Structure 1
């Protein structure tokens, strides 16, 4: 009996000892997506590992022992995974972790955006192109996680929605962009329906007494309605058409002026329906690169390189002032001056439903202040919001800093998304009060108009969501690293990246007819790649930033150029519709002008600016060159 009790006590105490001495283990943390040849950081979190055994830890990856950096109970190492290989973590002879890794080949990372581009070229449609690019990417990810091809197809299809689209919508900044875009769309609809836009145009149209003054007022209106290219096109085109018809200005010239002021001014103005998307793409890029800049700062600095939009606005004005044209436009203008053409003789153009919903009824009285006040609320509200969210008393009272530097720091520290949301909501509420208080529309009708304004932004929101998904999958698959490697092999100088970006963006926008879709495809690829290439070329931050700003503006400028020369572009089509101009006649007469300005912007602006020539000097030189081209090549319309 004594022996039995003794044995029981021995077994019991040894069991307690084993329970108290918990065996050590390791938790391995690495990116969910592994891409070959890309540097990957792996962290090893050890549990209950005695300090005395740290030197006995060995990590084998790809047949090579890895050097570990310790911080408390966590060890990290950086390696490049090549093809299929084994990762093994051991302490002495005890294996704690063993797994076969199957990294995605680096060149696969370019497939999602490449498929999106090819689909856009084939289908001439950006929504399906972005979706297919995203679908191809998710399928590749699941295939390299070890699933069969058919299972990967199903999982990839579902991941488009439950992973990438959902993550895009769950991002706070992304939601801010969506809400801001919808609010601006709603405000534009309200100030159109309440006669605000009509009132502003009516006042200015009184000063149109000749073909030149009529074109100038049209151009001026295009600048004043800067916050939305659709509103600009539809309002200016529809309102000024009777005036320009009376003054014998060709419908082709009206469509050109409308088209060449709407997108360019919306692309570079501070408060527009474009700014949300632009800030979103820029913000994603600078967060990825870890730059100490705000999206608004980058946007403002990039404006000095926006040669094509700015040159286009000046080129239109010079054509008007000099009363000259060339190419097919000259023939159209001379024909309009000499022929008597009534409204009934004009070709009939069938309007889509969206245009009819935004058009102003003939019985609506024009009241300029109904547009002016809400727009001012948005403009000044945004400025106030930026000042409020970014103000720092210590910086403002620092006498060693210039006022411009203080303002730049305040804007850089500001929460631009909050400022845009506050101001756009204020603009909508003011427009709603003005519309109902004057009994122009009943509250129910005003809300219906507001909702119709929201609907006009749906396509833009859908493009944004798909674009954010493409941006994330290119980040997961390290597409920027592939482009960087490619550029390194061909030894491309960083100074040529802005020019290539401009041309490539123009080609994509021409093929898709969408400047927004082009920005969605190009921005996530080129921003990280251009920065990495500049760094690997030995540039410091001060030298790389001007090229980065140039690339930011080149995507936007190239998108607008491609949009102008594309017969399937939304703004090109809307310009034809609003001006009641034959669509292909508009495309044919605008094409030489857009390509002329695009060539000057590229060779006299983007390229020399990338090599360090002052952008302000290039602006002057570009305008001089365009003036000389008009003077020497253009001919008087009234001759």
Structure 2
């Protein structure tokens, strides 16, 4: 890791830029704060986050700085601290945020238990006897992603943690593993009608009166062929694994490092490669498959609720390990706590991302961007414009479901008014959500995939971004062509 201190000139330049941004934010408050009509200036906090993250390579700090800029824009100096406290409380009391914290923490506990019981190690040994090549191991990783399709959190955390040692043995960089894991998370979940994404979006379609009550899932299924980003993303990852698509950007350097020296982790990522707990040396693959199968089953049984599924599967795993006398009860409960605590860092990133989303809601960022682009939404252009605009918003705000609560009531009535093809427009919007989840460097899927693979979110995001952008450009062109054809 580079620990050289910043040069005085760099420190002065950064300080001057920071003061200029704060001064401009204060100007925005005094000019627009009374009525909140920020217009294009509502994008300022997000721009600050992106620029700061690219410069510092740190996500939590960048997000928090963006939140502070947004609060300065919307509050007086006297109200700044109380407003920051209110934002913290609003996010903490958000039911969705609480669910994510508990669900992801329990997933961390589940992974810790499987690791302690030697299940992950046994699975890795078993896989090596079946698959002997790098391509075979990576295609096995992708196949697991297609099997564990119920939820992108479940997908990313389970597969990333399970495949680390198998891919390390064939000299695959953790950056490439994280890319494969993330590419089979949200992109797979949106093209299968039995996932959390299908449940959420089908309900949203019914709320917006484009599908009758109980028929939202039918419209979702009709839109699956038009969810181009998911299909393109899967095609790109297949080409990348097979070597038909050359390595892009920093991924090339990461793979060269791993293949030439066997260093699957960069120096910057080594502090992030923390094993939650040690494992039992002599174990068998049932100690992997039984916990994971119970996790998938109970998540499905409890109406695709990963939090309830994780709780139930932890009880099953405790009983299964207890019968075998693999670990004492004290060791297993210590593992549950350590696994939960091990998720604090990625959850901190997600929490700050939700704070930024709260600030963007206050500034009216989503409404401004959508309203500014409605002039381009003819029946032919609407699918492509809807995809590009909502993908950009999802990427910028890290809100992959929330912005569609605002966006769908604006875009779908417009689609009906201009007689656009509704399944195509729905497919474009859900594709935009998947793109945002895949590409955003402080998004939940990105953060959790990086955590599961033992690297930093920025390393994962930067190495994955060229592939995500390639998929996004091809998808946008596809929606333009289909808009004129249909």
TM-score w.r.t. structure 2 length?
0.69
Aligned to 2:295: 378
Residues 1:313 and 2:234 are matched in the alignment = yes
In 1, are the aligned partners of 2:272 and 2:451 still within 8 Å (CA)?
no
Aligned to 2:310: 424
**Deviation at 1:263?**
0.8
Measure the CA separation in 2 of the matches of 1:498 and 1:421. 32
In 1, are the aligned partners of 2:366 and 2:393 still within 8 Å (CA)?
no
Measure the CA separation in 2 of the matches of 1:141 and 1:281. 32
Measure the CA separation in 1 of the matches of 2:361 and 2:52. 25
Measure the CA separation in 2 of the matches of 1:241 and 1:524. 37
Residues 1:120 and 2:41 are matched in the alignment = no
Shift in CA distance, 156/378, structure 1 to aligned 2, threshold 3 Å: same
**Deviation at 1:238?**
2.1
In 1, are the aligned partners of 2:384 and 2:476 still within 8 Å (CA)?
no
Aligned to 2:284: 367
In 2, are the aligned partners of 1:285 and 1:524 still within 8 Å (CA)?
no
Measure the CA separation in 2 of the matches of 1:342 and 1:208. 22
Shift in CA distance, 507/346, structure 1 to aligned 2, threshold 3 Å: closer
Measure the CA separation in 2 of the matches of 1:161 and 1:284. 33
**Deviation at 1:372?**
1.9
Aligned to 1:441: 327
**Deviation at 1:206?**
0.9
Shift in CA distance, 214/467, structure 1 to aligned 2, threshold 3 Å: closer
Q: From 395, 409, 425, give the equivalent of 1:547.
A: 425
Q: From 154, 159, 167, give the equivalent of 1:240.
A: 167
Residues 1:206 and 2:129 are matched in the alignment = yes
What secondary structure is seen at the aligned counterpart in 1 of 2:37? helix
Aligned to 2:373: 487
Residues 1:264 and 2:183 are matched in the alignment = yes
Aligned to 2:93: 170
Measure the CA separation in 2 of the matches of 1:450 and 1:205. 28
Q: From 268, 273, 276, give the equivalent of 1:358.
A: 276
Shift in CA distance, 150/531, structure 1 to aligned 2, threshold 3 Å: same
Measure the CA separation in 1 of the matches of 2:166 and 2:431. 32
Q: Which has the larger displacement, 538-547 or 363-372?
A: 538-547
Measure the CA separation in 1 of the matches of 2:148 and 2:121. 11
Aligned to 2:398: 519
Aligned to 2:14: none
Aligned to 1:501: 389
In 1, are the aligned partners of 2:113 and 2:335 still within 8 Å (CA)?
yes
What secondary structure is seen at the aligned counterpart in 2 of 1:206? helix
In 2, are the aligned partners of 1:435 and 1:441 still within 8 Å (CA)?
yes
Write the deviation string for residues 57-103 of structure 1: whole angstroms up to 9, x where unpaired: xxxxxxxxxxxxxxxxxxxxxxxxxxxxxxxxxxxxxxxxxxxxx98
Measure the CA separation in 2 of the matches of 1:262 and 1:218. 7
Measure the CA separation in 1 of the matches of 2:277 and 2:382. 47
Measure the CA separation in 2 of the matches of 1:368 and 1:572. 25
Higher strand share: 1
Shift in CA distance, 260/502, structure 1 to aligned 2, threshold 3 Å: farther
Shift in CA distance, 523/423, structure 1 to aligned 2, threshold 3 Å: closer
What secondary structure is seen at the aligned counterpart in 1 of 2:82? helix
**Deviation at 1:426?**
0.3
Aligned to 1:157: 81
In 2, are the aligned partners of 1:120 and 1:129 still within 8 Å (CA)?
yes
TM-score w.r.t. structure 1 length?
0.54
Higher helix share: 2
**Deviation at 1:179?**
1.8
**Deviation at 1:451?**
1.9
Shift in CA distance, 121/137, structure 1 to aligned 2, threshold 3 Å: closer
Measure the CA separation in 1 of the matches of 2:220 and 2:81. 35
Q: From 463, 474, 477, give the equivalent of 1:600.
A: 474
In 1, are the aligned partners of 2:299 and 2:306 still within 8 Å (CA)?
yes
What secondary structure is seen at the aligned counterpart in 2 of 1:107? coil
Shift in CA distance, 501/372, structure 1 to aligned 2, threshold 3 Å: farther
In 2, are the aligned partners of 1:480 and 1:529 still within 8 Å (CA)?
yes
Alignment of 1:12-91 (within 5 A): none
Q: CA RMSD in A?
A: 5.0
In 1, are the aligned partners of 2:123 and 2:285 still within 8 Å (CA)?
yes
In 1, are the aligned partners of 2:230 and 2:431 still within 8 Å (CA)?
no
Q: Unaligned 5+ residue runs, structure 2?
A: 1-31
In 1, are the aligned partners of 2:40 and 2:368 still within 8 Å (CA)?
yes
Aligned to 2:27: none
Measure the CA separation in 2 of the matches of 1:332 and 1:178. 34
Aligned to 2:3: none
Shift in CA distance, 529/266, structure 1 to aligned 2, threshold 3 Å: closer
Measure the CA separation in 2 of the matches of 1:346 and 1:270. 28
Q: Which has the higher contact order (CA 8 A, sep 6+)?
A: 2
Shift in CA distance, 288/484, structure 1 to aligned 2, threshold 3 Å: farther
Which is higher, the Rg of structure 1 or of structure 2?
1
Measure the CA separation in 1 of the matches of 2:109 and 2:144. 20
**Deviation at 1:115?**
0.9
